[in-house]
Structure 1
Amino acid sequence: MIESTSSIALTSKEFDILLILSCKQTKSDKIEQLCSIFFRLLRQNVLSKKKKKLLNKTSEQNLNISILKVLQNLIVHIENPLEKYLHLLTILCCKIIQRDQRIELIKLFQILIDQSTNIKSSTIWYLKQLIEINSWNFDQIDEPDYERRLNGYKQITKEISKLDNIDKDKNEYLCLFYHCLYELHYSINDLSLREYASQCIHLFLKQIPSYQSYLLTEIRTILKKSTISIHIRNEFIRLLGLIIDINIDNEDLNDLKRLHNYNDIEIDFFHNITHVQNHRRLRALKRLKLIHNEQTFRLTTIINYLLPIVCSFVNDVINQDTQDINDDIVFSCLTTLCQILPWIKYNQLFISYFRQLKTTKQTLNLIQKRCLTKTISAIIDAFHFQLDNNEKNSESN
């Protein structure tokens, strides 16, 4: 059931059995061992980038729910479990996205609070606010409880601004920070909640600058998603522009600082690239190309931030989120940036778009085909690799 390697594999039936057994387990040492295993397994399921060998997404979700229920049954037998397990739950506040799973996660937080009697009252307060901003309407079960959630955010914003240096960098804050990243990403139709989440993120970054590394990881993930909503992507690009100003030691962010223009917002890259008007977004790309030509951006800056932003123009057309691209600056920028890429990244980019042109999974219209063709041509124009002499000779023969 539990393999000797670093990964753990359990079937859904084994989970159901363990769910029953966990209710009857009373020995504290055994319970703590089981908790460690299940926390590890939950994080493995949620955070693993590898494709899981499961029948379908529903079975995966059910397994995670089963794990959370097992943990709920086990935690009630442990004294002060927050000290032992809270650090394992922080990132899950962002990465557990399915509603049923989040409900069980919040139930687990409530049990952790109830079982922790020797914990600072401030820690308990912040975790209770986490429960509030994840609450659901009792009368309309499919609807969030907006009043409780908004009130929770209001309370959090008041307290974050008053944090003392000795209180910073605690797991309860990180849970809230990760939840705000989740809210910004997945609460697409809840503008008020997203605004509060964004405000909290701003305050956290101001009070705890070390959190910028967590945010940058999420920004890179968002930018590289080809099917992400334009509005969500723009929210995270705005946050990228924000942390550039408070950054001290990140070389990529220092590199991106050149795109800011503090004297004239009309030509500021981060202001224009998130603008609702398309011609302003294209203006941002023209400034990007101009600055790159003056001094080449770092390779990591291009791969992590600039290239995904340029490719988003193409992806939005393919996903039918926008109309056709009527300005060649997009493809010109793409060629310019691709000229810096190493072979592996260059080849990956070329193949990703070439396969879409040949795909049978989606029927492409004329605009999409034209956009993909221009994109592939732009990448080919950027080919800058030295061909092997043997290959040249064989081609000439």
Structure 2
Amino acid sequence: MLNGKRIALIIGGGIAAFKVPEMIRALRAEGCAVTPIVTKAGAEFVTPLTLSVVAGEPAHQDLFDVSREAEIGHIQMSRNADLLVVVPATADLMAKMAQGLANDLASTLLLATDKPVLIAPAMNVRMWDHPATQRNIRQLQADGVRFVGPVEGPMACGEFGEGRMSDPAEIIAAIRAALTEGPLSGRHIVVTSGPTHEPIDPVRYIANRSSGAQGTALACALRDLGAQITFVTGPASVPPPAGVKVVRVETARQMQTAVQEALPADAAVCAAAVADWHVLNAGQQKMKKDGTGRAPALEFGENPDILAQVSQMPEGRPALVVGFAAETEKVMEHATVKRARKGCDWIVANDVSPATGIMGGSENAVTIIDAQGPETWPRLAKEEVARRLAQRIASALTTKE
């Protein structure tokens, strides 16, 4: 897939830079040419000589290289690549990009390029959460910069949280997606997936049997058609897809906030099995038996209706909103009513009664209900359902142009 492609790979100054040589080797194994550009800080973690050897071509550092600048080398370098990739993208580099600064070779290339840019952020969790960084993220997303990661995990500084760089395999998957000229290239799609967990107390919760497999497969299929995906997932049992921005949540209210923050988008696909209710009187400590034989009385409040809120946005509504209806009886009747009530464009209806084995299984049998009526598909592997649905979404978005 990458044969004949050329990447300008900018290496920022973070400890995660030690993973870059491994990534360069993998890219070259797929037939991709890699031009390393290392920042002054990046060279403290991985040497230009190492980068040159693994890339098979010189690593560049200096903006004022007389031999290259006689031919305006930084301009040519930024235009000759099919994609600019920043790994790791530090808070400093992201700030420069967001502000349009160009005071070294890396930032100048990023400002001078007319090609797509993909970044893999890596930084301390506090730096990632800082309002300035979050403001820069929003600006870069508005500028069309693609993100892969960061992910949650342990960090070199000893802390734990979001800010850890994605693994090289995930970054390479994102590179493949960015270089795929699919029908969804340049589109941003929000996909929700998995169950939500609604706490009863600090150790117990209310949940459902959703594995997140269908939402994950759909995110992969949309990614492979060239879309930029924000994947908002509850605590699913299947791992999230590579090459997409993953936002992990637990509760329905957290998912609502994450979806709102992910917008605007060209399409929203609400595949998550969101709990209808949350516990109003959830215990702050573990609830104990009191010897009376009576269970504690739980009071419930209705969770936000994410699908309806996105469907009925007065401004900035995605061009296409797709919901899912997992039913155990009167599937078509309930799904048709749900589509009308929530105001979404399509409903993907399926029967998840225990006898079907669909909830948590590897197959699905769905009916797509839209303004023209129902379209029933045969029982298929969830990956095939996702592929067909992604193609249908791509066709609908193209038609709406």
Same fold (TM over 0.5): no
Q: Indicate the structure whose relative CO is greater, using CA pairs within 8 Å and at least 6 residues apart.
A: 2
Give the TM-score normalised by the residue count of structure 2.
Answer: 0.31
User: Which protein has the bigger strand share?
Assistant: 2
